[in-house]
Chains A and B, each alone.
Chain A
Amino acid sequence: MAHKQTLTVLAVCGSGVVSSSMIAQKLEEILKPLGVEPKVIGLLPTSVQTHVEQGGIDFVVSTSPIPGKITVPVIKGVALLTGFGEDACIAEITRVAKEVLAKKAI
C-alpha cells in the first residue's frame, strides 16, 4: 500500500489542551482505521480562524464555540467526552474525513 494519507485536524477547547487532548485520542482511534496518519493540533478557539487561513487544516473538532469565519468543516466534539450522541459524532467525523480524503485523491 502506498504511504498513508495524512489529515491535519485542529482539536479545540477553552484551554487549548485539556479537552483537546481527550479529543485528540479519540480522533486517532477514529481516523487510523481509515488508513490515515492523523496530525492533531490542540488550539484555543480564538486562534482557529488565523490558523485555518494559513492553510493546511482539513477540519476542526471543538468543545467550544469558535469565533470568526472558519472555512473548513467544524464538528462539535463534546459527545466524545460524554458518550451521548457519540456514535453520531464519530459518524460525522468519519464522513468529513472521507470527503476530505476523496478530494485530496483527485
Chain B
Amino acid sequence: MAEIILSETLIRIGMTETAKEDAIRRLSEGLYALDCVREGYVENVIKREETFPTGLPTSIPVAICHTEAQYVKQSALAVGTLVTPIAFLEMGTPERTVNAEIIFLLALNDPKQQVTWLKKMVTIFKDQATLRRIRDAEDPSQLLQMLKNLFRAEA
C-alpha cells in the first residue's frame, strides 16, 4: 500500500476560519509545504466540494475533503479541528448541511490500493469517543500521536 504521510505539519488545532473555503485552504498549507500535492490541488478540492459535498452527519460531524489522484504527488492526510463548526453540504443529500467540527483533508494518489486506510477512516467516523478525542486534542503532537495509533494499529 502506498504510504500515507501523517505529520505535525499537516495538523491544525483550533482553526478559527468560519468559511469552508478558508478552512480548506489553511489546512492545505501543510500539504503544499511537504510537497505532497501539485498546483491546482486546493482549488480542485474546493470546486469538488461544491458538486460532490463531503459533509458527513457523524456523531460529531466531519468533512472528508479530497480531489482526484492526479493532483497528488505523495499521499497524506491533513486534519484540522475547528473552533466554530462550519456548515458543509451533506454527502449524498445536498439539501442538508452538517456543522463540521473536524475536517479531514485527504490527498490520495492511489485510492484503490489505499482501501485499508479508508476502511480505518470509516471505523473512526463511527466511533463518537474517538471523534471527540480528535476534536478536543489540545496540541498538534498529541493529535498526531492519536492519528498514528489509529492508523498504524493492525486492522
A residues near B (Cβ < 8 Å) are 13-15, 17-19, 21-22, 24-26, 42, 62-65, 76-78, 80-84, 86
Q: Which chain A residue shows the least CB distance to B62?
A: A82
Complex interface: chain B residues within 8 A of A17 (CB): 69, 111-112
Any A CB within 8 A of the CB of B58: yes
Is A22 a contact of B52 with CB atoms below 8 Å? Answer: no
Is B111 a contact of A64 with CB atoms below 8 Å? Answer: no
Complex interface: chain B residues within 8 A of A83 (CB): 58-59, 125-126
Q: How far is the CB of B58 from chain A (nearest CB, A)?
A: 5
Any A CB within 8 A of the CB of B118: yes
Is B91 a contact of A22 with CB atoms below 8 Å? Answer: no
From B92, B108, B115, residue with most partner A Cβ within 10 Å = B92
Q: Which chain A residue shows the least CB distance to B121?
A: A22
Q: How far is the CB of A19 from chain B (nearest CB, A)?
A: 7
